[in-house]
Amino acid sequence: MSARILNKRQLAPEITLLDVEAPRIQRRWRAGQFIIIRPLEHSERIPLTIVDSCAERQSITMVIQAVGKTTREAVALEPGESLCDLVGPLGEPAEICTGERVLCMAGGVGVAELLPVARAYKEAGNTVVALCGARSDSYRILDEELRACCDELHWATDDGTFGFHGNVVQLLLSLAGPRSFAEGHVIGPIPMMKAAAEATREWGLKLHASLNPIMIDGTGMCGGCRVTVGGQVRFACVDGPCFDAHKVDFDEMTRRTRAYRDLEQIALQHDCRIGLGR
């Protein structure tokens, strides 16, 4: 089903926020769930976390980092135009505890994906400490929105232009240790999630990782999003996207996400007109 774009906002270089009309998804979604979009008729499908929604406008919010051909096609659309397809809400909602001190950790565009989870933790009566990482000050996103739902928000920037100078896992180790938190949620680049899992493995912290593998159908049929968790095969689109971070095989996930890198480069450079009716 197509979805009209109501609003577009540039959050940082290459990172764009879109509000799109989606009344049925707006009524049903919960923190941690995602959608799959196809921006144009010939585009590939891409999964995106649902970041927010507005009952009055019957809209949902997504944040897109323009890194590949399909994401660039999505952010080139303007308010008034429509995404060709939008399906959701997909996946299981994030597991949210109550009355605990919780860690919310994200890097890059994962900061946007963390926002609904941090909000859900806060609404469930938790004390929420958010640690967010960005390349530099100009890449920090949704600071105001996070401050509104977190008890503490700390930033790390790779170049030291804002907050802690270093990455978000180094920031975590500088601020916390065993028993600092009862539960946590991490989302972002795979190396960051892997490092967060390694750093907290002995802490007794229940850490959920929201995984972002390659997805195609989002219904558990294609096998594209297969991950190994605790030695078991799981499908991120229907069994996740959140899993116990300490049991995820991040090395396998890295290999699988790199499998199509060469083809992605070709797709970026070559406007193929064979197939898809063009």
Q: Which residues bind ligand FES (CB under 6 A)?
A: 215-218, 220-225, 235, 237
Ordered alpha helix ranges (H), the chain: 23-28, 69-75, 110-123, 143-149, 168-175, 190-200, 236-239, 250-258, 261-269
Query: Strand (E) positions, the chain?
Result: 3-12, 15-21, 34-38, 46-49, 52-54, 59-65, 82-83, 85-90, 101-107, 127-134, 152-157, 164-165, 183-187, 206-210, 226-229, 232-235, 242-244
- Which one, 19 or 239, has the nearer CB to ligand FES? 239
Q: Residue 201 or 255: which CB sits closer to ligand FES?
A: 255
Distance (Å, whole) CA 210 – CA 190? 10
- Least distance between ligand FES and beta carbon 229 (Å): 14
Q: Which is nearer to ligand FES, 98 or 219 (CB)?
A: 219
Cα(83)–Cα(104) distance, integer angstroms: 31
- Provide, rounded to whole angstroms, the least separation between the CB of residue 86 and ligand FES: 16
C-beta of 128 vs 253, nearer to ligand FES: 253
Please report where in the chains the tokens 């499998």 appear, as a residue.
259
Helices (H), 124-221: 143-149, 168-175, 190-200
The smaller minimum CB distance to ligand FES, of residues 65 and 212, is found at 212
Dist CA 239 CA 215 (whole Å): 13
With tokens 């397809």, the residue in question is 85
At a CB cut-off of 8 Å and minimum separation 6, what does 89 contact? Answer: 25, 28, 29, 30, 33, 34, 35, 50
Q: Toward ligand FES, which CB reaches closer, 45 or 135?
A: 45
- How near is the Cβ of 62 to ligand FES at its closest, in Å? 18
CB closer to ligand FES out of 164 and 235: 235
The rounded distance, in Å, linking the Cα atoms of 188 and 106 is: 5
| Min dist. Cβ of residue 71 to ligand FES (A) | 17
Q: What DSSP state is assigned to residue 124? A: T
- Minimal distance in Å, beta carbon 44 to ligand FES? 12
Cβ at position 26, least distance to ligand FES in Å? 23
Taking the complex as a whole, the smallest distance from the CB of residue 261 to ligand FES amounts, in Å, to 18
Tokens 């605990």 -> residue: 100
